[in-house]
C-alpha cells in the first residue's frame, strides 16, 4: 500500500475515531484530519490545545458546545451525496468542544495551528459558497466551507463532488512552494467517499522531477496525503466521488501552479 493512503479502522475507537492524520503521522507541519463515527447519543469531547479546529458534520445531526457557545440540533443531510452544503463549527485554539450525536453522525475534525485570533462560530449551509467549476468532463461542484476570505488562522476547508466519469483537481496543479504571489505552500489531505461504496477513485500525486510519482486507487472512507506535487482526481464511470480537502501552511492563501504540460487545458479568459 502507498504511504500516501490512510485507511480507516474496521471498528471505531472508543471515542468514535475511525481515521486519524496528525502532522507527526504525516511527516509534515500543519494539517491534521480525523474522521469520527458516532451513534445517536454518543459524545465526542476534546480540548483544542494549540490547534484551531473546523468540525464538519458530513452526515447526521448533533448538538455542539464550546466553552462559551452552544448550537443545538444542527446538521441536515443524512449523506454527503445529498450534495447540500454542510453545517460546520469553527473552534479556536485554547478552547474545547463537545459533540453529542442526535442521529448516527459522521464528523470530520479538521485542524491546523491557531493563534487565538477568532471566536468560535457556526458555519451554516447558507454561509457556504457553492460554485460549479470546470465544464464538460471536468465539471464538478464545490462547497467552500472555510475559504481564505472567511476568518481563521491557518485552516482552509472545501468539499468537492465529482460526477461519474469526470475529473477534478484538474488540470493538475500544485501548491508546494512558499513563493507568493505566484504560489503558496499548503499541505493537503483528501478524505474520500464513493457512491456506490464498492467503487473507487483514482488520484495521481507527482512532482515535476518525478521523485514522487504515484497513481492511487482510493476506496470509500480512505484519505490521501498530498505533501507536495500535482494531485488530480478521476471518478470512474458508474461511481460518484466526494472528497473533503483540508489545507494549511505558513500563509493562509491558496495560490496554485498548473503543470506546464497541461496548462493548455485551462479555459482562456474571455
Cα gap 180→169, rounded to integer Å:
21
The closest alpha carbon to 171, from 123, 137, 129, belongs to 137
Average pLDDT, the chain: 96
The pLDDT of residue 116 is 87
Residue 270 has pLDDT above 60, yes or no: no
Q: What is the DSSP string of 192-238?
A: EEEESTT-EEEEEEE-TTSSSEEEEEEETT-EEEESSSB--EE--TT
Q: Which three cell numbers stand for residue 180?
A: 507568493
* Confidence at residue 126, expressed as pLDDT on a 0 to 100 scale: 98
pLDDT recorded at residue 268 = 66
> pLDDT tens digits for 187-207?
999 999 999 999 999 999 999
Which residue, among 158, 140, 139, 138, has the nearest Cα to 148 in the 3D structure?
Answer: 158
pLDDT at 2: 80
The answer to whether residues 110 and 56 touch, using CB atoms and an 8 Å cutoff, is yes
What pLDDT does 197 receive? 97
* H or E element at residue 167: strand 167-168
Across the range 83-112, mean pLDDT stands at: 98
pLDDT of residue 173: 97
The predicted-structure confidence for 20-32, as pLDDT tens digits, reads as follows 999 999 999 999 9
Q: Give the whole-number percent of the chain exceeding pLDDT 70.
A: 99
Q: What is the mean pLDDT of residues 74-103?
A: 98
Please, which pLDDT band fits residue 139 given cuts at 50, 70 and 90?
A: very high
CB 180 within 8 A of CB 257: no
Cell digits of residue 165: 466519469
- Confidence band (pLDDT; 50, 70, 90) for 1? low
pLDDT above 70 (res 76): yes
Query: What pLDDT digit, counting tens, does each position of 206-264 carry?
Result: 999 999 999 999 999 999 999 999 999 999 999 999 999 999 999 999 999 999 999 88
SS3 25: helix
Residue 266: per-residue pLDDT: 81
pTM for this entry: 0.96
Q: If we measure between CA atoms, which residue out of 152, 177, 178 comes closest to residue 229?
A: 177
| Burial of 136 per CB tally in 10 Å (0-12, 13-18, 19+) | exposed
Amino acid at each position: 500500500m502507498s504511504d500516501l493512503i490512510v485507511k480507516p479502522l474496521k471498528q471505531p475507537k472508543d471515542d468514535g475515531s475511525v481515521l486519524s492524520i496528525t502532522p507527526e503521522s504525516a511527516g509534515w507541519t500543519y494539517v491534521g484530519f480525523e474522521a469520527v463515527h458516532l451513534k445517536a447519543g454518543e459524545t465526542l469531547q476534546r480540548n483544542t490545545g494549540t490547534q484551531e479546529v473546523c468540525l464538519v458534520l458530513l452526515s447526521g445531526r448533533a448538538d455542539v458546545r464550546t466553552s462559551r457557545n452552544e448550537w443545538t440540533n444542527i446538521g441536515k443531510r443524512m449523506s454527503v451525496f445529498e450534495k447540500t452544503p454542510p453545517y460546520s463549527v469553527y473552534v479556536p485554539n485554547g478552547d474545547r468542544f463537545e459533540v453529542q450525536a442526535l442521529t448516527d453522525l459522521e464528523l470530520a475534525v479538521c485542524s491546523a495551528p491557531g493563534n487565538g485570533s477568532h471566536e468560535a462560530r457556526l458555519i451554516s449551509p447558507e454561509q457556504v459558497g457553492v460554485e460549479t467549476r470546470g465544464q464538460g468532463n471536468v465539471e464538478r461542484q464545490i462547497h467552500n466551507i472555510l475559504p481564505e476570505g472567511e476568518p481563521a488562522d491557518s485552516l482552509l476547508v472545501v468539499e468537492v463532488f465529482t460526477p461519474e466519469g469526470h475529473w477534478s483537481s484538474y488540470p493538475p496543479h500544485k501548491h508546494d512552494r512558499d513563493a507568493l504571489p505566484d504560489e503558496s505552500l499548503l499541505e493537503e489531505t483528501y478524505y474520500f467517499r464513493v457512491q456506490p461504496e464498492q467503487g473507487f477513485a483514482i488520484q495521481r500525486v507527482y512532482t515535476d522531477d518525478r521523485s514522487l510519482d504515484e497513481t492511487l486507487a482510493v476506496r470509500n472512507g480512505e484519505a490521501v496525503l498530498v505533501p507536495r506535487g500535482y494531485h488530480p482526481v478521476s471518478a470512474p464511470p458508474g461511481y460518484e466521488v466526494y472528497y473533503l480537502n483540508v489545507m494549511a501552511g505558513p500563509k493562509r492563501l491558496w495560490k496554485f501552479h498548473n503543470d506546464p504540460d497541461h496548462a493548455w487545458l485551462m479555459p482562456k479568459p474571455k
